[in-house]
Amino acid sequence: MRRAAVIASGVVILAWGSALMITGTHLRPGPSAITAETAVDPPKASPPVLESRRVRAINPGEFVSPIDGPGETLERIAPRPSLGGQDEKKVEVILLQRPWTGAAGMLAARGRRVRLAGVLPTAVGLRCPSRGGVPWPCGVVARTQQRMLIRNRTVACDQNGADEKDTLVTVCRVGGTDIGAWLVRNGWAEAEPGSVLAELSSAARTDRRGIFGDDPREGPNDQP
């Protein structure tokens, strides 16, 4: 009878253990439940932020602080076209440091010879008549006048001039003054036939300026 009681107790224990296993299976969360609890939603993209700046008014005669100005959206615009148009050409310049004046209308510096465009150089040996009948060395005086105009300053000459053998024929300026036009206007050189300086040469001849008048070293030229 004792043996039967032991067997009965073993059966009861086995049945109780089986019940616990079944109950534990139902209570344990499955993989899908764990996944559902730990899943994280992806971050959402933030909407773009539009920035509005305050722009200072720049109307002529008006000043407005950027703080007080109205808020506006800035817009980039295309650059304006060149004022000279598409055919505008850049003029390259040659700088002559302290050039030497061989004659009125001629320049030279470091082996480069330049003749002023539209000007007939005045020969140094030229002698001009005066009203008193005594010729005066107008060629030497004309050369001196050009030297006094340039002094020791740098002369800027356009590089896109014409070449005559070893001489560049072009327009040259000193301190913003066109040297060739200055010479012709004051009568220290004649303009080439057909040159744009021809009218200046005619006026100088009419007014007896420079080589067309009397020796300025003896006093001012007589005016008609």
* Gap between the terminal Cα atoms of the chain: 170
Indicate whether 152 pLDDT > 60.
Answer: yes
Q: What is the number of residues in the chain?
A: 224
pLDDT higher than 90, residue 65: no
**What is the residue extent of each domain of the chain?**
93-216
- CATH code given to domain 93-216: 2.40.50.90
Q: Please state, rounded to an integer, the average pLDDT across all residues of the chain.
A: 76
What percentage of the chain exceeds 90 in pLDDT? Answer: 46
Greater pLDDT, 76 or 37: 76
Position 35 scores a pLDDT of: 41
Is 131 in contact with 214 (CB distance < 8 Å)? yes
86: pLDDT strictly greater than 80: no
Which pLDDT band, with edges at 50, 70 and 90, does 34 fall under? Answer: very low
* Span of 60-64, 172-176, 178-182 with lowest mean pLDDT: 60-64
Instruction: Round to whole Å and give the CA distance between 204 and 119.
Output: 14
Q: Looking at residue 132, what is its pLDDT?
A: 82
Mean pLDDT of 32-45: 50
Would the pLDDT of 25 be above 60? no
pLDDT over 70 (residue 27): no
pLDDT in tens, 118-145: 999 999 999 999 888 889 999 999 999 9
